[in-house]
Amino acid sequence: MSQNPKMETLTDQTFVRKCIIKFIQDLENKFSIKVIFACEGGSRGWGTHTDDSDYDVRGIYILSEDQYMSVTKSKGIISGFSQKIPETNVLFDYIFIDFRKFLKRNIINEKNQLNFILQSKTWYINKFPEDILSELKIKLPVPLRGIKGHLNDLTKQVKNAQKISPKQALNCFIYGLQLIHIYVFDSFPFYSSQDQIEFLQNQISQNKDNLNIGQQQNVQLERIFEEFKIDLILEKFKQYLELKKHNQQSIPEQDNLIIQNFSQDVMNYKYDIKMQSITSSQLDQIFRKMVSYNEQYEE
């Protein structure tokens, strides 16, 4: 008797990857675009997925120079939900944004949540030249308000909830830890939750003299870790991830207050950081450079 096809394909990540890349190629042909970056987002990008979690593909596409000069307007965003990989029960969502629209969003500082995907390590496609990708990572603003918006929504959901699901608890921790990273280091947090946790654990365990950060920042780090009970949060993170993997419907009721207090305290934290910004002329320069590179690449 053959195995469940869903279980076969979910354990064969190479197969799923090939299917998603093939889907992206078909999308390119259908809309006459070129996808220059595609990665895994959501729980699989964070590393909090289960075997049957859906896939969440996010990326950036570019048009030719002639297409950008055309009077016909680009779609701007191409997206779809609950797409099924052939011969399986595996589902995935996708969203791809035009590179020009992606850059334009950064004129409104701190809101472009898609900036964060460039930090992901789970790539399907990356056709950015190394110098342009590095420039984007350095110059694009951290989407502080976007992350705070997600945590604010979750804070409202769990505020008076009698039952909090492991997914809700984990997401509160993920967005909260990302914000704490921004508060202390004034830089992009890690996309992978495991990388973020390991980084914070290493920072707090190191001797002050060995930290590669200033004394004032080190004091702030210790104060924040104590204020938000980070050691407890990291311990609970592991517990809730196990609960999620075992399809438990809710975390222990006595832990509800931990989630509620943590998310609310992070939201209310008074931070004093200088956010990165980028000018329209810098964005234009990056855009022209990438379009030129794309034209050369196609020849």
**58 phi and psi angles, rounded to 5 deg:** -130, 145
Mean pLDDT, range 32-41, rounded to an integer: 96
Structure tokens at 149: 């918006």
Q: Domain coordinates of the chain in residue numbers?
A: 5-141+277-298, 144-268
Q: Which of 23-37, 42-56, 112-126, 149-163 has the lowest mean pLDDT?
A: 112-126
Query: What digits encode the pLDDT tens for the residues 137-176?
Result: 888 888 888 899 999 999 999 998 999 999 999 999 999 9
C-alpha distances in angstroms, 137 versus 140, 257, 259, 263?
Answer: 6, 36, 31, 27
* For the chain, percent of residues with pLDDT exceeding 90: 60
53, exposed or middle or buried, with CB in 10 Å at 0-12, 13-18, 19+? middle
pLDDT tier, 132 (very low <50, low <70, confident <90, very high otherwise)? very high
Give first-to-last CA distance, the chain, whole Å: 51
Q: How many CB atoms lie within 10 A of CB 104?
A: 16
* For the chain, percent of residues with pLDDT exceeding 70: 88
Contact 259, 172 (CB under 8 A): yes
Angle (deg, nearest 10), helices 193-205 and 215-227:
110
pLDDT tier, 6 (very low <50, low <70, confident <90, very high otherwise)? very low
Mean pLDDT, range 105-130, rounded to an integer: 84
- What are the start-end ranges of the H helices in 212-279? 215-227, 230-245, 256-268
Q: What is the Cα–Cα distance from 241 to 236, expressed in whole angstroms?
A: 8
pLDDT tier, 7 (very low <50, low <70, confident <90, very high otherwise)? very low
pLDDT of residue 43 exceeding 70, the answer is yes
Query: What digits encode the pLDDT tens for the residues 232-284?
Result: 999 999 999 999 999 999 999 999 999 999 999 999 998 877 766 788 999 99
To the question of domain 5-141+277-298 being in CATH 3.30.460, the answer is yes
Of 24, 26, 44, 50, nearest in space to 36 by CA: 24
Under the phi-then-psi rule, with left for phi > 0, alpha for psi from -120 to 50, and beta for the rest, what region is 41?
Answer: beta
**How confident is the model at residue 1, as a pLDDT?**
35
**How confident is the model at residue 3, as a pLDDT?**
41
Cα within 13 Å of Cα(193), Cβ side: 22
pLDDT of residue 110 exceeding 80, the answer is no
Provide the strand spans (E) within the chain.
Answer: 34-40, 55-62, 77-84, 91-98, 123-126
Mean pLDDT, range 198-220, rounded to an integer: 66
**How confident is the model at residue 215, as a pLDDT?**
61
Query: What digits encode the pLDDT tens for the residues 51-96?
Result: 889 999 999 999 999 999 987 777 899 999 998 887 778 899 999 9
